[in-house]
Amino acid sequence: MKQTHYVAREPDAQGFIHYPPEEHAVWNTLITRQLKVIEGRACQEYLDGIDKLGLPLDRIPQLGEINKVLADTTGWQVARVPALIPFQTFFELLANKQFPVATFIRTREELDYLQEPDIFHEIFGHCPLLTNPWFAEFTHTYGKLGLAATKEQRVYLARLYWMTIEFGLVDTPEGRRIYGGGILSSPKETVYSLSSEPEHQAFDPLEAMRTPYRIDILQPVYFVLPELKRLFDVAQEDIMGMVERGMQLGLHAPLFTPKAVPPKPKAA
């Protein structure tokens, strides 16, 4: 696991998490800005989820508020976690219909981008669609498969997650829209993902599993669902069979420059 300089906030004896005023102010800046950016760009199912959650603008929501809505819609919950968690914990949570939420928020110095997921990314980016039964079923199935998968298989599953739940697009009668939480929590990627600059491919789960990615750049390629229900349909298919096929075929050539590895210091 990578290291993080963020520390998740602990709840008090009543389960209430106290955030300082500056952190509430950061939330306000993030959510008011992003609600404007996603207009005409987010898919309707996500916008419906935003309405159901009723996220406050002036403060960071408490996890209990989110849990009440999720319980009433799809039976999911959010679970408080540290800034970064192991793959095993991640899959265990999803398999139990619990979505991990790190209870810290980014600083103003990292307002536009940070590598580890904070509470804004998880709550604003992902929780609205967890009120949708198609999305919720796909996420639950993904968790159960990941929990039983080998280390090698999980790498291919991780790419499927990245190309759908984090950075997925969907075609709708109104035009191409965003459903991936990694896009929806980023003002720059929200605009970029729907532009003519990146490549757009029709969604194919096997192809998604074979497509390399980097977490620290704007994505060079996005996979586009024909409709959001396609995720539910994929959950009923032989995903692990696709993983095995992907492992046999290997990866596609990356559409980005590989990240430079710093040279090792020479021995004295």
* pLDDT at residue 43, as a whole number: 98
Across the chain, what does the average pLDDT equal?
A: 95
* pLDDT at residue 268, as a whole number: 45
* pLDDT at residue 29, as a whole number: 98
Interval 240-262 mean pLDDT = 90
* pLDDT at residue 3, as a whole number: 66
User: What whole-number percentage of the chain has pLDDT above 70?
Assistant: 96
**Nearest-angstrom CA–CA distance, 140 and 90:** 11
Q: In the structure, what pLDDT confidence band is assigned to residue 21 with cuts at 50, 70 and 90?
A: very high
* pLDDT at residue 259, as a whole number: 78
Interval 164-190 mean pLDDT = 98
Query: Is residue 84 over pLDDT 90?
Result: no
Task: Give the type of residue at 268.
Answer: A
* pLDDT at residue 122, as a whole number: 97
DSSP designation for 121: I
Residues annotated as part of the active site: 121, 126, 166, 185
Q: In the structure, what pLDDT confidence band is assigned to residue 265 with cuts at 50, 70 and 90?
A: low
* pLDDT at residue 82, as a whole number: 87
pTM as predicted:
0.94
Interval 118-124 mean pLDDT = 97
Residues annotated in the binding site for Fe cation, as ranges?
121, 126, 166
Residues annotated in the binding site, as ranges?
121, 126, 166
Q: In the structure, what pLDDT confidence band is assigned to residue 262 with cuts at 50, 70 and 90?
A: low
Q: In the structure, what pLDDT confidence band is assigned to residue 264 with cuts at 50, 70 and 90?
A: low
Exposed / middle / buried, residue 43 (Cβ in 10 Å: 0-12, 13-18, 19+): buried
Interval 239-248 mean pLDDT = 98
User: Three-class SS of residue 98?
Assistant: strand
Interval 53-74 mean pLDDT = 98
**Nearest-angstrom CA–CA distance, 67 and 97:** 11
- All domains of the chain, ordered by start, with CATH? 21-249 (1.10.800.10)
Q: In the structure, what pLDDT confidence band is assigned to residue 113 with cuts at 50, 70 and 90?
A: confident
Both tokens of residue 1? 């696991």
Sequence-ordered list of residues with C-beta below 8 angstroms from that of 155, at least 6 positions apart, any chain:
none
Interval 175-185 mean pLDDT = 98
* pLDDT at residue 2, as a whole number: 55
Query: Is residue 267 over pLDDT 80?
Result: no
